[in-house]
């Protein structure tokens, strides 16, 4: 690996602490990924991306900024990357998946808050995330209480623009959201000194749609039995979608998809035919949080689809590109986000229950595992409705709550094994 210490130093990282973080990742990745059998060779690229997670991509961001571009960080699938790309920016998902940052986050946030939010703030406070150090602006969003209120702290640490979401998908809620998309455009126009054009936005939409289409292709191959790719490999591809160069990501994912299709054609899979197939749903699962996938797939199950923000919600629904004027296209873009993504921050959120049932049928799963992060109230309360719906549909459900701290793997594994035996 190249030596990035000078770059990290220029970005203001706490190098000593960052070294500790960097030392922790490879063994974690090795245990979760490299011990798998028969991985597609197309995963080599994604292995490299993880190995270079704080190196190569950061250098690209730095170079992009040197060439007059800007970089936006985000924490949510509601932030429209199309607009960022259209205005000559790059968007990256920010660091929020490791226990490493949680204690630092707890210095300014209550302990009784979801680990993702504490890690997000902790990553910035501890100066150990080169993505955070590279962004010109964080584009945050009012989804859950924890995030909404934590942005008030975030805004003290880094320039932050907050998009307001409604709590219900109503006509008035949609009006609010469309206004927020326009506010973001204005903010990014100010930041970039550019003006959003119809052609620019269409190009942004094309790039992001190509990325979504590649992921849809990947997921499509996971409907096969045997599955051509493990759930955890598919997960890391989805996670990387949040911060890799969009066109390179699309190209590499399409290569992987072709390999998976070939495997499906020849009946080759990473788990034996007949392996118990699981749909995983719930809170977002961001890098390097691979805990539950790893436990499931080393306990004899295969995760074949994720109904979450690092799964189908990332690519569900396309932007209607039929409007011939910029305002119409902006509305269509806003609509794709509001209609496509069924987050538990909305009430009611019937769409998610429908999505879970539909995906469970399409992917012919044996059971559903609902994974919520500790203190993620929206998903945890929604578990009641999910339980009822899946019972009606006759689909077995296991509910797991976990955070980023090690120590609960044994307990989770015991529950997973009992669930798998019952299927």
Which residue in 33, 375, 404, 419 binds a copy of itself (CB under 8 A)? 375
Q: Does 146 bind a copy of itself (CB under 8 A)?
A: yes
Our CB check for a copy of itself shows the closer of 175 and 358 to be 175
What's the closest the beta carbon of residue 216 comes to a copy of itself, in angstroms?
30
Contacts to a copy of itself from residues 378-417, by CB under 8 A: 378, 380-385
Our CB check for a copy of itself shows the closer of 155 and 217 to be 155
Query: Do 242 and 81 touch, CB atoms closer than 8 A?
Result: no
What's the closest the beta carbon of residue 281 comes to a copy of itself, in angstroms?
16
What's the closest the beta carbon of residue 343 comes to a copy of itself, in angstroms?
11
Our CB check for a copy of itself shows the closer of 22 and 176 to be 176
What's the closest the beta carbon of residue 126 comes to a copy of itself, in angstroms?
17
Query: Do 51 and 313 touch, CB atoms closer than 8 A?
Result: no
Site size toward a copy of itself (CB under 8 A) is: 42
User: What are phi and psi for residue 98, nearest 5 degrees?
Assistant: -120, 145
Q: CB under 8 A: which stretch of 78-86, 104-112, 131-139, 187-195 binds a copy of itself?
A: 104-112
What's the closest the beta carbon of residue 142 comes to a copy of itself, in angstroms?
4
Which residue in 10, 30, 44, 152 binds a copy of itself (CB under 8 A)? 152
Which residue in 13, 113, 224, 235 binds a copy of itself (CB under 8 A)? 113
Provide DSSP, 218-285. HHHHTTSSS-SS-HHHHHHHHHHHTTS-HHHHHHHHHHHHHHHHHHHHHT--SS-TTPEEEEEEES--
405-411-416 Cα angle (round to 5)? 115
DSSP symbol at 184: H
Provide DSSP, 277-317. EEEEEES---TT--HHHHHHHTTTEEEEEEESTTTHHHH-S
Our CB check for a copy of itself shows the closer of 350 and 422 to be 350
Q: Does 167 bind a copy of itself (CB under 8 A)?
A: yes
CA gyration radius, the chain = 20
Contacts to a copy of itself from residues 337-356, by CB under 8 A: 344-345, 347-348
The interface mask with a copy of itself, positions 170-209, x = CB under 8 A, is x-xx-xx--xx-----------------------------
Q: Which helix (H) or strand (E) is 124 found in, with range? A: helix 115-125
Q: How far apart are the first and last CA of the chain?
A: 45
Q: Does 273 bind a copy of itself (CB under 8 A)?
A: no
Count H helices and E strands in the chain, helices first.
19, 8
What's the closest the beta carbon of residue 114 comes to a copy of itself, in angstroms?
9
d(CA 314, CA 239): 10
What's the closest the beta carbon of residue 150 comes to a copy of itself, in angstroms?
6
Q: Does 162 bind a copy of itself (CB under 8 A)?
A: yes
Q: Whose structure tokens read 């709550």?
A: 401
Q: Does 112 bind a copy of itself (CB under 8 A)?
A: yes
Our CB check for a copy of itself shows the closer of 109 and 252 to be 109
Residue 120 neighbours by CB under 8 Å, 6+ apart: 75, 94, 95, 96, 101, 105, 150, 154
Contacts to a copy of itself from residues 66-85, by CB under 8 A: none
What's the closest the beta carbon of residue 399 comes to a copy of itself, in angstroms?
10
Which residue in 64, 65, 149, 415 binds a copy of itself (CB under 8 A)? 149
DSSP symbol at 143: -
Dihedral of alpha carbons 122, 126, 130, 133, sign:
positive
Polymer length of the chain: 423
What's the closest the beta carbon of residue 390 comes to a copy of itself, in angstroms?
16
Residue 228 neighbours by CB under 8 Å, 6+ apart: 40, 221, 222, 259, 260, 261, 263, 264, 268, 269, 270
Q: Does 374 bind a copy of itself (CB under 8 A)?
A: yes
Query: Do 101 and 118 touch, CB atoms closer than 8 A?
Result: yes
Which residues contact a copy of itself (rule: CB under 8 A)?
108-110, 112-113, 142, 144-146, 148-153, 162, 164-168, 170, 172-173, 175-176, 179-180, 344-345, 347-348, 374-375, 377-378, 380-385
């Amino acid at each position: 690996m190249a030596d990035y210490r000078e770059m990290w130093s220029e970005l203001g990282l706490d190098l000593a602490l960052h070294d500790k973080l960097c030392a922790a990742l490879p063994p974690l990745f090795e245990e979760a990924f490299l011990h798998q059998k028969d991985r597609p060779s197309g995963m080599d690229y994604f292995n490299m991306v993880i190995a270079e997670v704080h190196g190569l991509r950061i250098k690209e961001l730095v170079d992009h900024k040197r060439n007059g571009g800007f970089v936006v960080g985000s924490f949510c699938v509601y932030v429209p990357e199309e607009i960022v790309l259209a205005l000559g920016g790059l968007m990256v998902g920010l660091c929020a998946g490791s226990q490493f940052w949680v204690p630092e986050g707890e210095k300014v946030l209550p302990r009784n808050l979801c680990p993702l939010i504490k890690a997000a703030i902790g990553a910035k406070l501890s100066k150990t995330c080169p993505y955070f150090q590279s962004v010109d602006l964080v584009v945050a969003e009012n989804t859950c209480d924890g995030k909404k209120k934590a942005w008030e702290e975030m805004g003290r640490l880094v320039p932050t623009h907050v998009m307001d979401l409604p709590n219900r998908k109503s006509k008035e809620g949609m009006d609010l959201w469309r206004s927020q998309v326009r506010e973001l455009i204005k903010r990014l126009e100010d930041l970039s000194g550019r003006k959003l054009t119809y052609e620019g936005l269409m190009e942004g939409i094309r790039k992001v749609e190509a990325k979504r289409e590649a992921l849809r292709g990947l997921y499509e191959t996971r409907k096969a039995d045997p599955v051509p790719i493990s759930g955890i490999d598919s997960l890391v591809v989805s996670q990387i979608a949040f911060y890799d160069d969009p066109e390179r990501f699309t190209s590499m994912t399409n290569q992987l998809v072709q390999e998976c299709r070939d495997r499906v054609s020849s009946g080759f899979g990473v788990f034996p035919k007949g392996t118990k197939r699981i749909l995983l749903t719930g809170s977002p699962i961001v890098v390097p949080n691979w805990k539950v996938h790893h436990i499931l797939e080393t306990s004899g199950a295969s995760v074949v689809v994720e109904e979450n923000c690092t799964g189908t919600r990332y690519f569900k629904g396309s932007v209607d590109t039929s409007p011939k004027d910029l305002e119409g296209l902006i509305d269509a873009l806003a609509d794709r986000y509001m209609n496509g993504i069924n987050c538990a921050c909305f009430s009611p959120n019937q769409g998610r229950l429908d999505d879970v049932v539909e995906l469970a049928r399409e992917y012919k799963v044996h059971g559903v595992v609902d994974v919520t992060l500790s203190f993620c109230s929206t998903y945890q309360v929604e578990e009641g409705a999910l339980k009822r719906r899946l019972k009606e549909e006759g689909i077995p459900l296991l509910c797991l709550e976990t955070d980023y701290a090690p120590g609960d793997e044994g307990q989770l594994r015991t529950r997973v094994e009992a669930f798998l035996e019952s299927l």
